[in-house]
Amino acid sequence: MNAEQWLRERTYHHSAFWDLKKMVAQKEEQNLKISLCLPTLNEGATIGKEVVLLKSALMDHYPLLDEIAVIDSGSTDDTREIAAAFGADVYLASEHLTEAGDRKGKGENLWKALYLLEGDIICYVDSDIANIHPRFVYGLLGPLIENPDVHYVKAFYDRPLAFSQGIRPTGGGRVTEILIRPLFSLFYPELAAIIQPLSGEYAGRRSVLEKIPFPVGYGVETAMLLDIYNDMGLSAFAQTDLDTRVHRNQETIALGRMAFGILRTFFNRLSSHERIELKGELEKIMRQHRVEDGRFDQVEYQIEEFERPPINTLESYREKFGLGG
Amino acid sequence: MRAAGSKPGVFPVTGTVEGASAGNGKGNGNPRDGDGDAVGLLADLPGLLAPLREEMLADLVMIGQTPAPTGAEERRVQYMMDRFAESGLPEAGPDEAGNAVGFLPGRVGDRTILLVAHLDTIVPANVDHNATVLADRIEGPGISDNSLGAAALTMLPTVLQKLNIRLNCNLQLLGSVKSLDRGDHAGLKFFLDHASRPYNYGVCLEGVPLGRLNYFSIGTIRGDISCRVRPVESRSYGSESAIVVLNYIINRILAIETPTRPFTKIRIARVRAGKSYDVDPDKAVLGFEINSHSDEMIGRVTEQIEDIVSEMSARHAVDAELDVFFRRTAGGLRFSHPLIRACVQVMEGLGIEPDQGHSPSELSEFIARDIPAVTLGISEGSKHHDQIDYVMIEPVMRGMAQLVGLLTALDRGDADAPAAS
């Protein structure tokens, strides 16, 4: 399947999956279990609405999801209390898989979710979405339930949005357009068909996710794409247009640090996939500047993209899910 | 106010469970354990409804996030009809006026209760409508007025279904359009004027406050006085700002003597005028309201305002016009009406303090057509509009229990007894 064919055949719009009753029947026919993971860190302003809307529509009304879990990185606001009050299963990431230690980052939560949750399919949705709607979940699950050849579905957002005061759509995000798309075009041209590779919403089959390493920080989305592509090729993917996503805008300087983390992950993958040869270790310090009283200071950020190994290499995971030694 | 032999918390909730056999009728507090009649204790209802809380809150958020300024309620209408259809209502669709209409036939069907919630809001469509769900409350523009009332109406078929309550009387559900401001209840008026069946009772649902019990309407008119400065060449007295002339009119209106008995009040409510600091406005508009227990007094005050507008128009060489677009006659039920007694009893059974008063809302349309009706609130909250609107989460299911309690009481015939003299 070449990129053109893939773009034509594997690009969906969420409205294709509006018939939730039908989707629940298909899920039951296949005897699938589906889990929703919401990674959080101080998302008290948005997590309540996410849990209420998604649980009501996709568990209470149409039993598409078997569990909704919040995996929290140690919020200091009332994120965990709110999520639990509205019926989500709440896990503090640092209290689980303690034998593996504790790392901070979204990727850590996504990785531990594979151990904590039961689903054959895991759907990951960020917790800062102001305009959350059930389509954010069923739009990603639809291709996986309908097509056994699809193993991983990525969200993109294509409807322009009137916005103001720090809220903007993610479509054509700065890091995607300035960093990721040029890199994909250079080294993995087929993956450039993925419209929004950094979107925080995606769903995958456990059988695929358990085999890949997870960077705990910024690089987790990029690593997933590169590793699954390396193992299975473009045909393993699909993407769904979820229309509009509203979240808080990030400052350019913060995106710079994000880009640094992604670049580290990317170059490490280029090396391990034997596409380039690196002469030595990549730097771990990101250097940015600030001006105070006419004087320029350099600020250093240590951005080490620690990676969790494929979770199926963990003894406790293999025991829990009955994998042979 | 209680029925003989009853006490708070043991007011029975009775509805018929389809296919259940006749039993002892004692009831055990769980409407699901049907013994011919689904008999439960009113005070238990909020607990029984608790599993539906997230579904109710989801409807509230989805409705609240859908902009619906008066005259542009189509998306809310569609949402409500979709939900009616999902919950299995045999009739769900729009009427000619654009209202969302649902019908739940009763087992006997000889009486019909009309429940209405207005779908429109004063919030403009270009305002960010995203709601925020916090631990104890939901915030968002218009969430209390009237997203919560609309959500309660939307959830009602599901609530009755989950409680296995099937009433003998029919329920007609109406999400009405064009209610506010110059909409003047156009949706509800159309529906009532073209109804295919008679309605025995009306229940108007508003978001807040829980305990709200409106059953009479005082006379009300609402109008605009517009004041437009004529072109310079036609002026007799030189150029005056439209705001200044409007101010003269306001001062004259405020000088009108209004009696305390019958209670009569003139409210100067809204002024719109002016574009810039360095330009005399050539148009100004005053919005006002007159309330009175006496329709005659409203007529008298209105005549005086008409005279003031005519006089000031001539005196200051402006085109001043009075446009009264909203009229309600005074009327309603007495406190002794069995419908009010039934409401109070249900509220007491749930520990809700009744807060009685008048309402210029949809209730007046029922009053004008001699249909016994009340307006109820669903939860605590605020609708200041200049601050963040919110509704409290905890009381919501008590508000729904109140609605179920009242419907079952009406179904039993508790409000059919003649009113006490």
CA separation, residue A311 to residues A108, A153, B296 (Å):
11, 20, 81
Q: Which two tokens stand for residue A216?
A: 């705990």
Task: Tell me the pLDDT of chain B averaged across its residues.
Answer: 88
Per CB-CB distance under 8 Å, the chain A contacts of B159 are none
Please determine whether the domains at B39-217+330-412 and B219-328 fall in the same fold group of CATH: no
Residue in B303, B298, B249, B297 with CA at minimum distance from that of residue B273: B249
Question: In the prediction, which pLDDT does B7 show?
Answer: 45
Question: In the prediction, which pLDDT does B196 show?
Answer: 86
Pairing of strands B100-104, B112-118: unpaired
Share of chain B above pLDDT 70, in %: 87
Mutation to test the A interface, candidates B49, B133, B392, B394, most A Cβ within 10 Å: B133
Q: Which residues pair with A58 in a beta bridge?
A: none
Q: What is the mean pLDDT of residues B247-271?
A: 94
- Residue B22: pLDDT band (50, 70, 90) is very low
Per-residue pLDDT reduced to its tens digit, B103-121: 999 999 999 999 999 999 9
- 3-state SS, residue B23: coil
Question: In the prediction, which pLDDT does B38 show?
Answer: 46
A84, exposed or middle or buried, with CB in 10 Å at 0-12, 13-18, 19+?
middle
Are the CB atoms for B354 and B211 separated by under 8 Å? yes
Tell me the CATH number of domain B219-328, given options 2.40.30.200, 3.30.420.40, 3.40.50.1370, 3.30.70.360.
3.30.70.360
Helix (H) or strand (E) holding B397: helix B396-412
- 3-state SS, residue B202: strand
Question: In the prediction, which pLDDT does B34 show?
Answer: 37
Rounded to whole angstroms, how far apart are CA atoms B288 and B182? Answer: 13
Name the residue with higher pLDDT: B289 or A303: B289
- 3-state SS, residue B352: coil
Cβ separation B135–A49 shorter than 8 A: no
A169 contacts chain B (CB < 8 A): no
Q: With left for phi above 0 and alpha for psi between -120 and 50, is residue B129 left, alpha or beta?
A: alpha
Tell me the CATH number of domain A3-321, given options 3.40.50.150, 3.90.550.10, 3.30.2230.10, 2.40.50.140.
3.90.550.10
Rounded to whole angstroms, how far apart are CA atoms B59 and B228? Answer: 45
- Residue A121: pLDDT band (50, 70, 90) is very high
Per-residue pLDDT reduced to its tens digit, A51-93: 999 999 999 999 999 999 999 999 999 999 999 999 999 999 9
Q: With left for phi above 0 and alpha for psi between -120 and 50, is residue A258 left, alpha or beta?
A: alpha
Q: How far is A241 from chain B (nearest CA, A)?
A: 20
Question: In the prediction, which pLDDT does B236 show?
Answer: 53
Rounded to whole angstroms, how far apart are CA atoms A318 and A311? Answer: 8
In the predicted structure, residue B233 carries a pLDDT above the cut 70:
no
Question: In the prediction, which pLDDT does B14 show?
Answer: 65
Cβ separation B135–A81 shorter than 8 A: yes
CA separation, residue A252 to residues A58, A128, A169, A258, B320 (Å):
36, 18, 15, 10, 56
Q: Which of 52-91 (B) contact A at CB < 8 A?
A: 52, 54-55, 57-59, 61-62, 65, 86
Helices B242-254 and B295-315, packing angle to 10 deg: 140
Q: Which two tokens stand for residue A266?
A: 């990317």
- Opening angle at CA B147, ends B146 and B153, nearest 5: 95
Question: In the prediction, which pLDDT does A294 show?
Answer: 87
Q: What is the mean pLDDT of residues A164-169?
A: 48
Closest residue in B to A162 (Cα) is B126
Question: In the prediction, which pLDDT does A325 show?
Answer: 63
Q: How far is A57 from chain B (nearest CA, A)?
A: 7
What is the 8-class DSSP label of residue A313?
G
Helices (H), chain A: 3-9, 20-29, 47-55, 79-85, 106-116, 135-146, 174-175, 181-187, 206-209, 220-232, 252-272, 315-320
Q: What is the mean pLDDT of residues B278-296?
A: 92
Beta strands in B165-244 (DSSP E): 170-176, 201-206, 212-217, 219-229
Cβ separation A60–B135 shorter than 8 A: no
In the predicted structure, residue A209 carries a pLDDT above the cut 50:
yes
Per CB-CB distance under 8 Å, the chain A contacts of B130 are 130-131, 246
Residue type, B259: P
Segment among B5-19, B93-107, B231-245, B308-322 with least mean pLDDT = B5-19
- 3-state SS, residue B329: coil
Segment among B297-306, B317-326, B339-348, B392-401 with least mean pLDDT = B317-326
What is the 8-class DSSP label of residue B178?
S
Question: In the prediction, which pLDDT does B279 show?
Answer: 87
Per-residue pLDDT reduced to its tens digit, A240-285: 999 988 877 778 888 999 999 999 999 999 999 999 998 888 998 9
SS (H, E, C) A73-131: CCCCCCHHHHHHHCCCEEEEHHHCCHHHCCCCCHHHHHHHHHHHCCCCEEEECCCCCCC
Per-residue pLDDT reduced to its tens digit, B181-193: 889 999 999 999 9
Give the domain ranges of chain B: 39-217+330-412, 219-328
A167 contacts chain B (CB < 8 A): yes
- Residue B4: pLDDT band (50, 70, 90) is very low
Residue in B331, B267, B335, B272 with CA at minimum distance from that of residue B301: B267
Helix (H) or strand (E) holding A1: none
- Residue A293: pLDDT band (50, 70, 90) is confident
Question: In the prediction, which pLDDT does B314 show?
Answer: 86
- Residue B5: pLDDT band (50, 70, 90) is very low
Are the CB atoms for B154 and B57 separated by under 8 Å? no
Question: In the prediction, which pLDDT does B239 show?
Answer: 61
Please count the CA atoms within 13 angstroms of the CA of B126 that sit on its side-chain side. Answer: 3
Report DSSP letters for A150-167, one per residue: --EEEEE--S-----TTE
In the predicted structure, residue B158 carries a pLDDT above the cut 80:
yes
Task: Tell me the pLDDT of chain A averaged across its residues.
Answer: 92
Single pTM value for the model: 0.86
What's the CATH number for B39-217+330-412?
3.40.630.10
Segment among B93-102, B139-148, B308-317 with least mean pLDDT = B308-317
